[in-house]
Amino acid sequence: MQERVLVFDVWGDYAHFRKNYSTSSPLTYSFPPRTVLSGLIGAIAGLEKTEYFRQFFRDDARIGCRIMKPVKKVRIGENLVDTKSAIKMHLIKNRTQIRFEFLKDPNYRIYFSHSDEKFFGNLRDLLEKHQSVFTPCLGLSQLICNFRFVGEFETISEGGIEESQTIDSVVPGKCILEPEFEDGKEYFSEVMPCEMGAERVVMDFREILFERNGKSIRAKAKDLWVVENGEPSERIAFL
């Protein structure tokens, strides 16, 4: 089975992908969940904030992510203002300082395929021209990011593999049949939101395995795809 996929890189100075269970001291996921990537792609394509999630149901859209630089986290104090206490912004006096966890120098490669050829083609044209309808950001509106189109490539489904394979992207735990942990690599997993329903409620959480420094993961796995983007090709799993 073959499928066309758009590949592009995104990066910025900082990123914050808030973990849903953190409140007073917001923590961040180590890379953007599938729901965040849907919002990022929707912003580039010009989808309205209240409607974009309808385009990214798993039956229609495939999204993958590769960590391109080591994951670095820092804590920065942010002054939050109480906008309900004053009618005009310059009259606001109440401020609360909260320590946010941010990702420093984030850099990711995104893989995207869609069943709607018109939407797919429109996104490809925007990426090629380095244009976006809305400003792309990495989690928070003030964390503006840049992007670079890598290309449009064919992907080939490998299905289930009996032998260990090198996987370049982050990998859902359900795809891993037998991991092969190698010396010199740092493995982590996080449970992340993966799909949002029509009522903007998360429908699916999944455990995702990744290597903190952006190195490949070696494992016996299923549902893998090979991206034919030259030598060497990339082997990925969709979120």
Q: Is 14 among the domain residues?
A: yes
Return d(Cα 157, Cα 2) in angstroms, integer: 7
Give the pLDDT band (50/70/90) at residue 27: very high
Q: Work out how many domains the chain is built from and give that number.
A: 1
pLDDT of residue 231: 66
Q: Is 37 among the domain residues?
A: yes
Q: Is 86 among the domain residues?
A: no
55-104 pLDDT tens trace: 888 889 999 999 999 999 999 887 777 766 666 766 777 777 888 899 99
Q: Strands across the sheet with 217-221, in order? A: 165-167, 217-221, 176-179
Q: Is 210 among the domain residues?
A: yes
Q: Is 78 among the domain residues?
A: no
38 CB burial (10 A radius; 0-12, 13-18, 19+): buried
Q: Is 88 among the domain residues?
A: no
Please state which of the ranges 66-80, 107-121, 155-169, 205-219 shows the lowest mean pLDDT.
155-169
Give the pLDDT band (50/70/90) at residue 208: very high
Q: What is the 3-state secondary structure (H, E, C) of the chain?
A: CEEEEEEEEEECCEECCECCCCCCCCCECCCCCHHHHHHHHHHHHCCCCCCHHHHHCCCCEEEEEEECCCCCEEEEEEEEECCCCCCCHHHCCCEEEEEEEEEECCEEEEEEEECCHHHHHHHHHHHHCCCCCCCCECCCCCCECEEEEEEEEEEEEEECCCCCEEECCCEEHHHEEEECCCCCCCEEEEEEEEEECCCCCEEEEEEEEEECCCCCEEEEECCEEEECCCCCCEEECCC
Inter-residue contact 230 to 82 (CB < 8 Å): no
Return d(Cα 66, Cα 229) in angstroms, integer: 15
pLDDT of residue 83: 67
Q: Is 51 among the domain residues?
A: yes
pLDDT of residue 196: 78
* Domain ranges, residue 214: 2-73+99-236
Can you give the CATH number for the domain in which 160 is found? 3.30.70.3120
Between 55 and 148, whose confidence is greater? 148
**Would residue 119 be called left, alpha or beta, if left means φ above 0 and alpha means ψ between -120 and 50 degrees?**
alpha
Q: Is 196 among the domain residues?
A: yes
pLDDT of residue 2: 57
This prediction has a pTM of 0.91
149-203 pLDDT tens trace: 999 999 988 765 668 889 999 999 999 888 889 999 999 999 998 887 767 778 8
